């Protein structure tokens, strides 16, 4: 498995370089992903089909940003739809756990505000696109959660799932380095840095690079056994963390740090004394890498990153709004909920109403305020399902050492980046996996009978 990991890592370093040098290759990459995993799913043995589907979805979420930044695929949200399609395959092959029924209710709670939108959205808007854009993330989450709830995977299979997220993230990392090898040349202020983010949105880039930072940390502490692989993991920890930091978008970095703290705490708690001693040494080494990474980041950004995290501008003056406008957007959406508490203002209308009131075209960065503003009380109940269902699942199933980290990734990401990408939706679903020590674990009683 280790040799295969190195081979796939090398291939994805090459993919990142080739897509940077020849952007049209991104389209071949997109369709290649779909065809490759479709063939693997169809040809897999019955007991392994769902595992292949989970890996397919994991890979797509890792590849989404590099596909978007190169305009690859038929449309902007295509990666989310691919995750939905693969998850539906999983439901077809394996059914869903009856305890996952709240997620069916969650999806149903999204429907009423569609009718509100159809009635109220401005005629000159593309209504279908407005609704599809705003519901693609929630539907991805609902369908993938139905599919993954209680799905049994072994620790070895969990490692493979983590790797399949990481491989395309490594391609993204390579692309960003090639796009902007000299961060110091583009670090002249403390605002989010598009040039250092590969020419793409810093918020989304920091989110996925932060995820790569976390997953390489998981490999270092949990999966990698030989020294050579652990050192390789640390190199990638430094690279992912560095490029996430220099996007100047703080949300993805803070989210990764919270995930790492939760993971290390849970892992340390379940270890015996001998392994705890080794773990402490690993933590010290990891912290040294963290300090080195911050030092490199400060040096490469001409000290601007320190001002960014101190909430200062380039002149060293404190900024008035630490949320960079997100707080105002949240309050505007909460006000719309107060004015329309039952059905909400309708899917996709928050942006339209904000423009009418302020003259500013700005999409929501906060999924919580968006869902309650656009869906009203139905949105409140829908969010409560998402918030509480995994915690009840955890009470009866403590097998997944990554549960709290995955749950935090979803919760924190939707508060700084909404559900712009598929990552928070499917990572949320991965928190619902049941980790076992069986040889062929992917089996469960179906609640959807085959005809």
Q: 115-119, 217-221, 357-361 — which one is most confidently predicted on average?
A: 217-221
Q: Which of 41-50, 113-122, 196-205 has the lowest mean pLDDT?
A: 113-122
> pLDDT-derived band of residue 449, with 50, 70 and 90 as boundaries?
very low
| 329 and 364 Cβ atoms separated by less than 8 Å | yes
Measured between its terminal Cα atoms, the distance across the chain in Å is: 38
Nearest to 198 by CA among 417, 16, 11, 14: 16
Q: Is 358 helix (H, G, I), strand (E, B) or coil?
A: helix
Q: pLDDT tens, 305-339?
A: 999 999 888 888 887 766 666 777 777 888 888 88
Whole-prediction pTM: 0.93
| 428 and 410 Cβ atoms separated by less than 8 Å | yes
What pLDDT does 1 receive?
A: 64
What pLDDT does 445 receive?
A: 45
What pLDDT does 446 receive?
A: 44
More confident residue, 237 or 321: 237
| 301 and 189 Cβ atoms separated by less than 8 Å | no
> pLDDT-derived band of residue 173, with 50, 70 and 90 as boundaries?
very high
- Report CA Rg, the chain: 22
Q: Judge whether residue 440 has pLDDT over 60.
A: no
User: What residue has token string 């968006």?
Assistant: 370
Q: pLDDT tens, 383-417?
A: 999 999 999 999 988 999 999 999 999 999 999 88
Nearest to 54 by CA among 427, 447, 446, 450: 427
Q: pLDDT tens, 240-281?
A: 999 999 999 999 999 999 999 999 999 999 998 888 999 999
> pLDDT-derived band of residue 49, with 50, 70 and 90 as boundaries?
very high
> pLDDT-derived band of residue 121, with 50, 70 and 90 as boundaries?
low
| 237 and 282 Cβ atoms separated by less than 8 Å | no
Q: Which two tokens stand for residue 221?
A: 């502490």
Percent of the chain scoring above 90 in pLDDT = 70
Tell me phi and psi for residue 224, to 5 degrees: -75, 135
User: What residue has token string 């590969």?
Assistant: 198
More confident residue, 12 or 122: 12
What pLDDT does 427 receive?
A: 98
Q: Judge whether residue 94 has pLDDT over 80.
A: yes
Secondary element (H or E) of residue 113: helix 112-120
What pLDDT does 119 receive?
A: 75
| 150 and 403 Cβ atoms separated by less than 8 Å | no
């Amino acid at each position: 498995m280790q040799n295969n990991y190195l081979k796939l890592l090398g291939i994805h370093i090459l993919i990142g370089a080739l897509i940077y040098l020849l952007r049209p290759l991104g389209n071949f990459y997109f369709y290649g992903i779909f065809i490759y995993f479709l063939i693997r799913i169809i040809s897999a043995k019955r007991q392994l089909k769902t595992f292949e589907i989970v890996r397919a979805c994991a890979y797509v979420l890792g590849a989404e940003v590099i596909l978007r930044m190169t305009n690859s695929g038929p449309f902007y949200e295509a990666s989310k739809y691919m995750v939905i399609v693969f998850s539906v395959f999983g439901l077809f092959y394996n059914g869903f756990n009856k305890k996952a029924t709240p997620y069916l209710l969650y999806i149903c709670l999204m429907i009423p505000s569609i009718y509100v939108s159809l009635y109220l959205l401005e005629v000159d808007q593309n209504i279908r696109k407005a609704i599809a854009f705003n519901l693609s993330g929630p539907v991805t989450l609902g369908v993938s959660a139905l599919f993954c709830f209680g799905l049994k995977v072994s620790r070895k299979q969990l490692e493979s799932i983590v790797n399949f997220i990481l491989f395309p993230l490594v391609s993204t990392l390579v692309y960003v380095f090639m796009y902007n090898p000299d961060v110091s040349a583009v670090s002249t202020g403390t605002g989010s840095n598009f040039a250092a983010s590969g020419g793409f949105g810093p918020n989304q880039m920091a989110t996925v690079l932060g995820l790569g930072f976390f997953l390489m940390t998981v490999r270092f502490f949990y999966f990698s056994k030989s020294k050579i692989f652990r050192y390789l993991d640390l190199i990638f920890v430094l690279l992912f963390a560095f490029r996430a930091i220099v996007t100047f978008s703080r949300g993805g970095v803070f989210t990764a740090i919270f995930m790492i703290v939760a993971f290390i705490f849970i892992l340390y708690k379940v270890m015996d004394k001998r392994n705890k001693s080794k773990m402490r040494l690993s933590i010290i080494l990891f912290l040294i890498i963290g300090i080195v990474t911050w030092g490199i980041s400060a040096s490469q950004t001409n000290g601007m990153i320190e001002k960014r995290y101190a909430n200062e501008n380039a002149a060293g003056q404190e900024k008035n709004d630490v949320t960079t406008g997100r707080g105002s957007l949240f309050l505007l959406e909460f006000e719309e909920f107060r004015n329309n508490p039952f059905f909400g203002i309708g899917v996709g209308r928050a942006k339209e109403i904000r423009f009418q009131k302020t003259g500013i075209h700005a999409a929501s960065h906060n999924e919580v305020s968006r869902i309650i503003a656009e869906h009203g009380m139905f949105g409140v109940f829908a969010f409560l399902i998402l918030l509480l269902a995994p915690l009840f699942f955890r009470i009866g199933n403590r097998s997944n050492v990554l549960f709290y980290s995955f749950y935090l990734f979803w919760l924190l990401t939707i508060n700084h980046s909404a559900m712009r990408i598929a990552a928070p939706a499917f990572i949320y679903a991965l928190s619902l996996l049941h980790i076992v020590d069986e040889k062929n674990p992917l089996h469960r009683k179906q609640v959807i009978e085959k005809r």
